[in-house]
Structure formats: C-alpha cells, structure tokens
Structure 1
Amino acid sequence: MEIIMSRLVLKDNIRTSAACKSRLDAGVFVRVVEKHPWLFYMSKRGHSLKLVDPLKWKSYTLELPEIAKSSTVCFSRDGWLLMHRSITKDFFFFNPFSRELISMPKFELPYNEIAFSYPPKSDNCVVVALNFNVQHQVTISTCYPGATGWISSVSPANYQQFYMKTKIVYHNDRFYCFNVGIESLFSFHPSSRTWKSYPLANVDPTLTQDWYKKEFFFGRDERRALSHMSPSEFDGLTFFVSFYNSELRTNLPWLRNNVCFSRFGYNRRHVSYSFDQSRYNPSMEWNNELELCPPQSLWIDPPNNVLDYF
C-alpha cells in the first residue's frame, strides 16, 4: 500500500487516504518520504548532460556552457558538481540547473580521490583531495571557494598505509577514509589539519552504524561488502552508489534495504541489490565496480522544480 500511495501526486494521495484507515496510514507515511536522487551522464564528448529519473524511467538533456564542456565530473553533493579541466589543471563548481559556476584555484598535484563538505556557497565549504604515491605516502590537499591556492601536506607516517581505492566521506566536521589493510578508519579535520585513527574493534557505535556496515562507501569490492551484510543491518536504508559519489536515503518505502548502482540494465531499469531478496535486480551476474558503476555517471539531488529547467 505504501508503494502504491507513494506514486500518487499529493492531490490523489489525499483523496485515496479518505477511503479507509489503512490507506490513511500509508498515505500519511509516504507524504514525508525523501526525494530520491537522479542519475546523470556526461556525453562522450562532454557537450551535454543527460539526467535520468530512475523511478519513472524518464530522461532529460541539458546543454553545458562552453566552460564546462570536455570537463571531468569528480564529485556531487546537494545538486552541485565539482568538475576538473585536465588541460588547465583547475577545478570549478557547477550547478547544472541554475547554471551557476564558481571557480577554484589551479591544482597541479595529481589526485586519486576528492570530495567537498558543503555546497560552495556555504561558509563551511572545503574541498579535500588525496594523492597516493608508490611509497604509500598520502598527500592531503585542501581548498575552499575564494581561496588563492591549495594547502598540501604529507600525512603522518602512521596514517600513510591507506588502501589505494579508499573513498573520502564528510561527516560531522571531519573527512573519513577507510584502510582495508589494517581495518581502521582515519579522519582528517580540515581546519586544524589534525588526524585521528579509529580501530574498528574500538569504533564508537554511532560511527559503526554509519560507516563500517556500509563498507562500499570506501571503495571496497561491492560483492564482498554485500555478502557480509543482512537486511536487519540495513535498517530500511537505501544507498545510491556511483563511481564518484554515494547518496543515502532513510525513508524510501519502495526501495528499503536496497543498494542502487549507477548502471542501467537491459530493461532500462537501474541495477540494484536487494537485501530482502539477496539478489541483484535485474537478476544477472555483475563482475566488477566498473560494470556496476560506470565512469562519468553519478547521483545528483535535483531541485524541487527540476522540470522547469528542461
């Protein structure tokens, strides 16, 4: 009933809710569901942006401004894209809906992972980039909109054994990284540039719930992560995972206990893994991260009036 009611517009939801108590309960519950993210794909030549509503299977196209053409998308958060121009070696924020663009200083150092904390118009916005070298040293660089340059430093020796595919995720004023080799979480506080280590055996329960159970946030092999989790661990959560970013939703009745990847199957539906059913949908074999999360595709939060931009 929740699934049916969730697909009705508000006007029809209210009308249907008047039929009986069970419909009323379901209707009221889904009226406060979260918005699901949309998928977007860059065209091969980087001239346009294709956005897909994964639940309605509808796609839309946006033409990119000249400055954003042939750029690489690195990260997405709250409707903003962090993009990179390899030729000029600079980053910039771009909002594909409002067409706003915010420049960042040039960044000469190669990067392996990058993320930002808040939308670029926020006073608390900071960008963090990680670079791993062959000696397992980690250089961490930070910057913020309006800065004149990046600040870079090599991490302390006891924090250098990062797994090369680690992801960085922002949570409560700190950026977190996961180390597969020694099963630890590392955190970095950008303002003080201080580090902390969290052995998983001693991790705070709230951190355990938000991080360790959801290992694929940190770039670990998805198949291994999924096989170690159960529906009860997921607590009804829904993850939207891509090559560049991940989105979490706590109240999507029709997708509880699911991981939705940025790959579309042959039936035009996105590929997902259901913990309740313990299988992929559509039911076929997916072998690696690139198949499940192809590059140049990621999840983005559309504005409430998203259709006004097409």
Structure 2
Amino acid sequence: MKLLSSDVEENGEVKRKSQSKKTENPTFSELPLSLLEVIMSNLVLKDNIRASAVCKSWREAALSVRVSDKAPWLMHFPKHSNLCQLYDPLKRKTFELELPELADSKVCYSRDGWLLMRITASNEMFLFNPFIRERINLPILEHSYLKIAFSCTPKSGDTCLVLALKPIGRGVAISTCKLGASEWITENFPCWPPFESHFHSNLVYSNGCFYGLYGEGNLFCINPSQRIWYLLTQPSLTKWLFSNKTELSKKMFLAEHKGVIFGLFMFGDEKPLVYKLESSKWEETNTKHDGLTIFVSMFSTETRIDLPWIRNNVHFSKVPFDGKRFVYYSFDEQRYYRRNERSDLDELCPSRTIWIEAPKKNDDFGLM
C-alpha cells in the first residue's frame, strides 16, 4: 500500500508540475476570449473564416465578430397574380408576399429595399417598399423614357431624386423629380456618339451622379446638381472588345459597391468581363481576388463582397429552377451553371424579376 501511495504522490507531483508548466506556457487556443475577439475583429472575412477552423475557442471568437454582407433577394412579379415570390440565393429559401398594392404595375428599378413601379395604363409612378408596405406617389411624367432610377431610400435623410432618360435625335432628354415635388424638370443635352436606344445598360447612382453605358461601351455621367451630362471614359477599350465579338449576342451592366463603379460586359456564352472604373479609365478586375458577387437584372444590379459559397460569381435574375438552383457564372470554375446552351443573354434577365435588398430580419415581416 505504501508503494501505491508513494506512486500516487509521485504522480500527483508530476501532474502539478505539468499544470504549472502549462500555465507558464499557454497555447494560442488558451488565449482569453476577449483577446481573441479583438484579434478576430481585425481580420478580413476570408481570414476570419480560416481562423475559425483552428480550434473550438477560435471558432467561437471568430463567429462572434464575423460581419458579412447579406445577399439580396430575387423578386419575381407574376403576370396574373399579386402573390410575389422572393428567393434567397445564399440560404436557398423561398418566401411569398401578397402585394395587391402592385396590381397592374411593372417594376422599373430597385435600390435599398425600395421599388420604383409604373402603372401601365395610366403611366403613374410610385416608390414602394414591399416589406413595410409604404408607398410614395410621384407626379406623372408626360413623355416616355428609356431608363429610370432613383438616388437613395426615401428614409435616408438625404434628398431622394428620381431621374429618367430618353434619347432624342443627337441628344438626350433628362427628366428629374425630387420627392415631394409636384412636377418633373426636363432638360435636353447634346450627345455624341448618338445614344443608341437598342443597346444600353442599367443606371447606377454613386457620389452624387448617375452613370450608364450605351453603344460600344460609352460610359456617361449625369450630375443633377450641376445640371451637366458628359462622357467619362475613352472608348478605346470597349470598342476593341466589341469589334472582336461582332457575331455574338452582347449585354452590359453597371454595378456600384461602396462608391466604386464596375462594368460587366457579356458576349454570348464566353466568360463575362468585369472592369473597375479608376481615374476615369476602365481597369480589368480579377474577381477571384476581390471576392465580388454581382447580381444582375434588366433594370438594376446589386453587389456584395465575400459572401460565403457564392463569392466570385455573377448571378442572373432568371427565376431559379425548383426555387433553389440559380443560373450563375463562376469565375473560380470558369463556367456557367444551369444555363441552357441555346439561351440568349436576354433570357437570363427577364423583365418581371429584379434583385432587391433583403430586410434586416425576416420575421419582422412574416417571412419565415
């Protein structure tokens, strides 16, 4: 028994020495949670994700401070129904909203969770938030327009400006309306090269100006406060792109992320080309490094950075197969997914679908 007791004491002594040594030389996994959270909060998302795989304590700290963009939802407006479908591309969930307020109207634009709608029969227009069911009427625009957009959410505190564009001969007519105004203000501007009404992009708003593409990739800028219109980029790059792909169907989109303008150029079933506007010049972007996801529709676009599972993709607004499987292009895999080989580019962005910023909390609006 003495021998056994001696062994226990000896083992106990060894154990105490081991614990003392461990305390003097802690591992990284034993760092206090508060310190780990400080470290993790200074990591970009992709490094945060990598760190979370190290051990349990690191994962807890990484998840507690992780902030990523929330993916926009695809909104589909059925032709003969008020029941709109919303699709979440990240969680692969489908929601439905009964919106009688949108009866007999067509979507024209989307920004910050708000829709710009037009009633077909009367040409009445209004802003509408489908999640809080708020409607803001606009005065009737007497003439037709080719493209239309608005600058910000009506709830932002800034002046929300709606802008419509129409080609006229060798110029363009620009109509603007501030929220609360009783009429539109229209001005004509000369435009060279002439604006081609059959080939153009959506409009985007950034840093006080509206931007758009037309023709062979001509980028124009409209500054409403200074009441000016001008071409921004030299056309050499885009002319070269277009001249080498004359036989292919073409599509171009503009996108904006935190003040930076991106151009997306598509030719048939080839790899989409993404350019970033730097000092009034286009520079090709390596989307693999930027972690950019572009969500394109006929009337507007959304962009996000470092979305899990779907980063480095272009997602189209075609209603997804079985409500879950979207049509998209992966820059990582260099290929399209779920696109019919015979489908035209126009089929990827139908007129009755649009990307919309998702609500902060789904359950606030009965979306479960």
Q: TM-score range by the shorter chain?
A: 0.7 to 0.9
The letter for the 2-side match of 1:214 is: G
Shift of the 32–294 alpha-carbon distance from structure 1 to 2, 3 Å rule, reads: same
Distance 1:115 1:299, change over 3 A: same
2: CA distance, partners of 1:228 / 1:308: 36
Distance 1:100 1:258 in 2: 33
CA contact (8 A) 2:175 2:186 kept: yes
Match of 2:93 among 58, 72, 97: 58
Structure 2 residue 284 is the aligned partner of structure 1 residue 249: no
Q: Which moved more, 1:39-48 or 1:295-304?
A: 39-48
- Report the equivalent of 1:140: 174
Match of 1:199 among 225, 229, 233: 233
> Normalising to structure 2: TM-score of the pair?
0.69
Residue 49 of structure 1 corresponds to which residue in structure 2? 84
Over the aligned positions, Cα root-mean-square deviation in angstroms equals 3.2
Per mean C-alpha deviation after superposition, the further-off stretch among 189-198 and 277-286 is 277-286
Helix, strand or coil: the match of 1:215?
Answer: strand
In the alignment, the residues of structure 2 paired with residue 159 and residue 142 of structure 1 have an alpha-carbon distance, to the nearest angstrom, of 23
Question: Within 2, Cα distance between the matches of 1:293 and 1:108?
Answer: 28
* Structure-1 separation of matches of 2:193 and 2:208: 19
Question: Does the alignment pair 1:131 with 2:166?
Answer: yes
**What's the counterpart of residue 302 of structure 1?**
358
Aligned to 1:9: none
1:146-203 deviations in whole A, cap 9, x for unaligned? Answer: 011111122224364356432221111001122333x432111112211232233799
d(CA) in 1 for partners of 2:175, 2:67: 39
Following superposition, the deviation at residue 290 of structure 1 comes to: 2.6
Choose the corresponding residue for 2:207, options 172, 192, 196: 172
**Offset from partner CA, 1:254-286 (integer Å, 9 cap, x none):** 222110111245453111100111101236426
Partner residue, 1:275: 331
In structure 1, what is the Cα distance between the partners aligned to 2:222 and 2:299? 20
Cα gap change, 1:157 to 1:276, in 2 (>3 Å): closer
- Specify the alignment match of 2:9 in structure 1: none
What is the CA-CA distance between 1:225 and the residue it aligns to? 6.8
**Partners of 1:265 and 1:63 in 2: how far apart?**
20
Q: CA deviation at 1:88?
A: 1.7
Give, in whole Å, the separation in 1 of the partners of 2:344 and 2:269: 8
Asked if structure 1 preserves the Cα contact closer than 8 Å seen for 2:105 and 2:120, the reply is: yes
Shift of 1:55: 2.4
Unaligned 5+ runs, structure 2: 1-44, 238-255, 276-283
Gaps of 5+ in 1: 7-13
Quick check: 1:111 aligned with 2:179? Answer: no
Matched, 1:185 2:216: no
CA distance in 2, matches of 1:201, 1:113: 22
The percentage of aligned residue pairs carrying the same residue is 38
SS in 2 for 1:109: coil
Equivalent AA in structure 2 for residue 247 of structure 1 = E
Higher Rg? 2
Normalised TM-score (structure 1): 0.81
Q: How far apart are the structure 2 equivalents of 1:231 and 1:284?
A: 27
- Report whether the alignment pairs 1:292 with 2:322: no
Other structure's SS at 1:140 match: strand
Contact 1:231–1:276 (8 Å) recurs in 2: no
